[in-house]
Amino acid sequence: MKLYVTDLEGVQHEIEAMPNWTVMEIIRDGDQPMRAECGGSCACATCHVYVAQEWLAKLPPMEDEERGTLDGGFEVEPNSRLSCQLIMTPDLDGLKVTLTNDSSN
């Protein structure tokens, strides 16, 4: 499985994606900058990414906790998600996300 990550300079990277890993963990394992300060407990918003429009509908809906934690993020858009809350499954093979100032600056 592949995950496509666009960095803050606009360069896209193809990363090997492991099933059942979170997108946050996959980005970090793929050596892309990923702060994820709370370590994936949905507490800090420093794993904030933008999800490519065509993938949005395939993702599990956001829960209240994620929506609330996103309040600690900046430049939040309708396609914003916390990558620690996105679990990689075969349905998501080829998922495209873009890093943010929160996650990677």
Partner 1 sequence: MTTDAISTDVVIIGAGPVGLFAVFELGLNDMKCHLIDILDKVGGQCAELYPEKPIYDIPGLPIVTGQELTNALMKQIEPFNPVFHLNQMAESLTKTDEGKWRVTTDAGTIIECTALVIAAGGGSFVPKKPPIKGIEEYEAKSVFYSVRRMETFRDRHIVISGGGDSALDWTLNLQPLASKLTLIHRRDEFRAAPDSVNKMRELVAAGKIDLKIGQISNLNGAGGQIESVTVKTDSGEMHDIACDALLPFYGLTMKLGPVANFGINLHQNLIPVDTEKFESDIPTIFAIGDINSYPGKLKLILSGFHEAALMAQQAFHYVHPDRKLRFQYTTSSSDLQNKLGVAAE
Which residue number, 45 or 92, has a Cβ lying nearer to partner 1? 45
The alpha carbon dihedral of 85, 90, 54, 60 has a sign of: negative
Q: Applying CB under 8 A, which part among 19-27, 50-58, 71-79, 84-92 lies near partner 1?
A: 71-79
Q: What x/- string results for residues 23 through 52 when contact with partner 1 is judged by CB under 8 A?
A: ------------x-xxx-x-xxxx------
User: Residue 4 carries which DSSP code?
Assistant: E
**Is residue 53 close enough to count as binding partner 1 by CB under 8 A?**
no
**Is residue 68 close enough to count as binding partner 1 by CB under 8 A?**
yes
Alpha helices in 19-95 (DSSP H): 23-29, 53-56, 64-69
**Is residue 74 close enough to count as binding partner 1 by CB under 8 A?**
yes
**Is residue 101 close enough to count as binding partner 1 by CB under 8 A?**
yes
Which residue number, 3 or 24, has a Cβ lying nearer to partner 1? 24
Kindly report the number of other CB atoms within 10 A of residue 93's CB atom: 12
> CB 74 → partner 1: shortest distance, Å?
5
User: CA 62 to CA 78: how far, in whole Å?
Assistant: 11
Q: How far apart are the first and last CA of the chain?
A: 27
